[in-house]
Amino acid sequence: MTTLRRVPIGGWKRCVHQAASFESRGEFKAACLLDATDNLDWWLRNDPPLLRIPTPVGYFEPDFVYRRRRGMIIMGLLEIKGEVFWDGDGSDARIKATAACAWVSAIQKAKAAERWEFAVVLEQDVCEATTLETTLANAQRRAP
């Protein structure tokens, strides 16, 4: 995982913030892909965290929240994870991903006006992706 200095980067078309900071090359690439997605209304870097999902090992704070349209409104949570942190069953990252999937499922069962989705994508996979769709297709964990 490449660590970046937390320098705010601006110039985004679809970001709700004037600038966003990133902790890795993968997070920056995901932001670029989100920003370039035509059917995406907006995205935000969840830093500082606006969305926190309780889990047995602390809060899960997804890297990104976004809203897109594919015939319907889809709200999405995207987590970019360095492979070293996605280290087997029972790891904090996998417990948090399971909790996020359950959270999305609960929203779906409550019949929210929009559909929700969640994906964990490894940093190496997002860095090789050319679109948001290919990024989501490479997810390690996904909901619904």
Q: What is the DSSP string of 48-78?
A: S-S--EEEBTEEE--SEEEEEESSSEEEEEE
Model pLDDT, residue 83: 84
Residue 109 lies in a domain: yes
**CATH number of the domain that residue 33 is part of:** 3.40.1350
Domain boundaries, position 81: 9-143
Residue 74 lies in a domain: yes
Residue 2 lies in a domain: no
Model pLDDT, residue 69: 94
Model pLDDT, residue 96: 95
Q: Based on the structure, what is the number of domains in the chain?
A: 1
Residue 34 lies in a domain: yes
State the pTM of this model.
0.92
What stretches in the chain show pLDDT beneath 50?
A: 1
Residue 1 lies in a domain: no
